């Protein structure tokens, strides 16, 4: 909320206003935060306990539902023998390359389409058709054309990343208020200044939504691509675990995939926040 300062020209009042502004930032209390944390982890802890009880009861075969303890052991084993690390590095590299390509293309096309009607009429229908064909339906032909090597996995990931980033970038840029275009006219802003200081900042939230959705897709796509072809990576490790009935490893791998997905999302959100410093200062 904005504060009212109705008297003009009163120096004391003005200074105390400025002081208040700076004092309001960074007053986080520990107690409420702890409570919020408990709030978040309560249900997972209960589920974990239920899982342990169910697995320990002997009602289910161990191959169907291994106990949490066994899953942790499998995880430690995979870390120790280096297989998890190797798979992670391979999958991570594929995700990174595919993501950078997909995001790069999507950002360029999205901004272009957002600023130029002709470009939008060219690209939006194409992207829409690509979007309507599910990622999994693309895989056979991509593998047919590019084999089961790295390139086809990177293309599959890039395809998964392309859609949400394109759509959100386009929407963000088209959402720039008409008022700001008038302002640019009145202030005779140059195109480059208008883009950098007005268009991009007002689209940045939307663009980051796209980048985060894209990152989720990338991680999903790499696992799918590795399950379909190749002999390395987390997806392949999942398939192998299923074939050998290593259900403890299977679950451990799933958890690892989930946790990494969350970590990527958190990192992207932190980057987003750092670009939206003004919002933090303003929202109270």
Partner 1 sequence: MSQNTILEIKNVSKVFHTKDKDVEAIRNVSLNVNEGEFISIIGASGCGKTTLLRLIAGLEKEYGGDILLDGKRVEKAGLDRGVIFQEHRLLPWLSVEENLTIGLEGTKKELHNLAAEYLKKVDLENFEKVYPGQLSGGMAQRVSIARALMRHPRILLLDEPLGALDALTRMNMQTEIDRIREEEKTTMIMVTHDIDEAIFLGDRVVVMKPRPSEVDETITIELPRPRLRSSEDFAFYRNAIVNKFNHSIMEYAI
Residue 182 CA to residue 142 CA, distance in Å, equals 47
Residue 9 CA to residue 2 CA, distance in Å, equals 19
CB of 278 to partner 1, least distance (A): 5
**20 or 242: CB nearest partner 1:** 20
CB of 136 to partner 1, least distance (A): 40
Q: What is the 3-state secondary structure (H, E, C) of 235-254?
A: HHHHHHHHHCCCHHHHHHHH
94 alpha-carbon distance from chain centroid: 16
| ∠ CA 243-256-259, rounded to 5° | 145
By CB under 8 A, residue 195 contacts partner 1? no
From 35-43, 147-155, 184-192, 223-231, give the range in contact with partner 1 by CB under 8 A.
184-192
Residue 105 CA to residue 130 CA, distance in Å, equals 14
- Of residues 197-236, those binding partner 1 (CB under 8 A): 197-198, 201-202
By CB under 8 A, residue 13 contacts partner 1? no
Count the residues of the shown chain that bind partner 1, applying the rule CB under 8 A.
33
N-to-C CA span, the chain: 6
From the list 230, 231, 222, 223, the residue with the least C-alpha distance to 250 is 223
By CB under 8 A, residue 191 contacts partner 1? no
- Of residues 105-164, those binding partner 1 (CB under 8 A): none
CB of 16 to partner 1, least distance (A): 12
CB of 47 to partner 1, least distance (A): 41
Are 198 and 176 contacting, i.e. CB atoms less than 8 angstroms apart? Answer: yes
By CB under 8 A, residue 180 contacts partner 1? yes
Q: What is the DSSP letter of 2?
A: P
By CB under 8 A, residue 185 contacts partner 1? yes
**Residue ranges that bind partner 1, judged by CB under 8 A:** 2-9, 14-15, 18, 21, 179-180, 182-183, 185-190, 193, 197-198, 201-202, 276, 278-279, 281-283
């Amino acid at each position: 909320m904005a504060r009212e300062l109705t008297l003009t020209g009163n120096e004391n009042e003005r200074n105390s206003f400025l002081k208040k502004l700076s004092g309001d930032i960074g007053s986080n209390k520990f107690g409420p935060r702890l409570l919020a944390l408990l709030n978040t982890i309560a249900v997972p802890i209960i589920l974990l306990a239920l899982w342990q009880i169910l697995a320990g009861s002997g009602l289910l075969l161990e191959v169907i539902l291994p106990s949490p303890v066994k899953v942790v052991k499998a995880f430690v084993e995979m870390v120790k023998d280096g297989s998890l690390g190797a798979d992670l590095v391979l999958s991570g590299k594929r995700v990174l390359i595919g993501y950078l390509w997909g995001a790069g293309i999507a950002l360029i096309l999205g901004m272009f389409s957002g600023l130029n009607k002709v470009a939008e009429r060219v690209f939006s229908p194409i992207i829409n058709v690509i979007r309507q064909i599910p990622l999994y339906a693309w895989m056979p032909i991509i593998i047919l054309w590019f084999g089961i090597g790295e390139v086809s996995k990177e293309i599959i990931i890039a395809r998964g990343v392309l859609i949400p980033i394109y759509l959100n970038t386009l929407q963000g840029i088209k959402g720039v208020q008409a008022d700001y275009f008038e302002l640019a006219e009145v202030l005779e802003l140059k195109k480059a200044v208008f883009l950098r200081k007005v268009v991009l900042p007002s689209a940045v939230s939307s663009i980051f939504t796209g980048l985060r959705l894209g990152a989720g897709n990338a991680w999903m796509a790499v696992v799918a691509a590795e399950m379909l072809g190749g002999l390395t990576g987390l997806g392949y490790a999942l398939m192998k675990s299923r074939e050998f009935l290593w259900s403890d490893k299977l679950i451990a791998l799933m958890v690892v995939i989930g946790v990494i997905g969350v970590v990527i999302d958190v990192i992207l959100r932190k980057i987003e926040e750092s670009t939206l410093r003004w919002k933090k200062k303003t929202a109270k």
